[in-house]
Chains A and B, each alone.
Chain A
Amino acid sequence: MGSFDFARDDSFFVMESLDQIKSRIEAAVPGAKIEIVQNGSPSQQRSLLIDNEHAVAIARFLRVDPALCLDFCSNVTGIDWLDRVVKKTTKVKTLVDGQEKEIVETTEEKIPGYLEAVYHLYSMTHKHGPVIVRMRTADRAEGTRLPSFTPIWRSAEFQEREIFDLYGIHFEGHPDLRRILMWDEFEDYPMRKDYREPDDYEWEPTPHDAVLEKAKQHYTPRPELDGAEAIVEPLKG
């Protein structure tokens, strides 16, 4: 006892803006394609969408660059974006019968689904952050491959395994990519938005909505008791 010191240094550095970081990465990693993803919420946390090919080089730059020194990868997570249709309405001026008219045109744009991995990077040396980096897979079925950041930040090890387990993103270069929370024989990816849980309904006295529909397939509805749609437990034995 008594040999313990207390922290004396409470200073922290102000990080450069995301646009500056973007241009510095582009200068340092030739050929890197970076896009700033806007964020509409009041949190104002914008992120960098980086291309998978140069991802490891970009990550290494963020880690070792003396001004940034993002040595602490706090949070790694996956997101599932399903196929979606974005409707765009544009007003187009056209000549109809010699008169100029405004016509509202609706164009539908199909955006194929993809999986996304998001990394929240902080610096323990300079005490600043976060720089949010995201990568997208080509699609949701075959091309769910992304480079792993575990060789750069050890903290991504379990979290990337978790993403592999729950979302099915294969991280290339991960030293030990196995299922972590689900058992090894499990086949689906439960955190995906289109995951359907298996029909392992267990009897419960007050089923609702979706559970009720499921319950009806297994048990008989309660006879005219009080109008309730509850389900009767089968007689045992």
Chain B
Amino acid sequence: MIGTGILKGMAVTARNFVGSYFEKDRLITVQYPEERVPLPENYRNFPFLIYDGNDSHAGLRCVACKICEKECPPQCIYIVKSDDKKPDYMGKPQFYAKVFDIDISVCMSCKICVEVCPFEAIKMDKEFELSQRERFNHLLLRKNDLAKSNEYYHRIHPVEAASVDKGLADAAAAAEAKKKAAAEAAAKAAAAKAAVAKATETKPSPDAPPPSQASS
């Protein structure tokens, strides 16, 4: 009979309308500024730079290697390398970024900079309410705007941050162990050499490094 299809459709809308009073599943609208949906762990928006400790300059992990600048598809990162060096989080003297700008009006949130960074220095933020009154300079984030603490990172990406910290700690421990092993091996070699020298009672050849240097 003509009209039954329409009536069937009307029944569906009626069921949805009435159901929205009883079923949470059917009432899906979120009243945004008052109500907010929690952001998932993996949510990404724009990149920021991580620093360890309290000093955003001394603790900044970035070493200005410019890999992210090169790999960034829309070319929104701008880095100027420093002339001097500062110790990085491993205590090794490294260059740092004198200028680090990200133009978030150009950035397309692809996360490639995070993927290619070998120093775990750049991560994705979750801040999304970024409307500004000016098109260019206000959407250009400078180094000071970008630098955020590791605690902040832990707050927004708890799982990811924990694994990153573990990886860094493991790497540091491995480096430490390697250093120790190298030092031990060098000391052993030096001792063996000294023993050989003593046994033969000859002067060490002038081109061989003295034991104190070899063990350092």
Contact = CB atoms under 8 A, between A and B. Distances in A.
B136 A227 contact: no
Interface string A207-237: 0100100000000000000111110010000
Contacts of B103: 204-206
A201 to B, nearest CB: 14
B137 interface: yes
Per DSSP, chain B at the interface is strand
Contacts of B76: 206
B98 interface: yes
A203 B75 CA distance: 15
B136 A204 contact: yes
The majority secondary structure among interface residues of chain A is loop
Interface size class of B (residues with CB under 8 A): 10 to 19
B192 interface: no
Contacts of B78: 206, 208, 228, 230
B101 A206 contact: yes
Contact of A228 (B69, B77, B99, B136): B99
B75 A205 contact: no
Contacts of B101: 205-206, 228, 230
Interface in B139-158: 140
Given A226-B99, A227-B80, A227-B99, A208 B137 contact: no
A204 B101 CA distance: 12
Contacts of A204: 103, 106, 136
Interface residues of A, number: 12
Nearest to B99: A228
A233 B140 CA distance: 13
Interface string A148-166: 0000000000000000000
Interface string B72-84: 0001111010000
A125 B85 CA distance: 68
21 contacts: A204-B103, A204-B106, A205-B101, A205-B103, A205-B136, A205-B137, A206-B76, A206-B101, A206-B103, A206-B140, A211-B75, A227-B98, A227-B99, A228-B78, A228-B80, A228-B98, A228-B99, A228-B101, A229-B80, A230-B78, A233-B136
Given A204-B106, A229-B80, 15 more contacts: A203-B136, A204-B136, A205-B101, A205-B136, A205-B137, A206-B76, A206-B77, A206-B78, A206-B106, A206-B140, A211-B75, A226-B80, A228-B99, A230-B78, A233-B137
Interface of B: 69, 75-78, 80, 98-99, 101, 103, 106, 136-137, 140
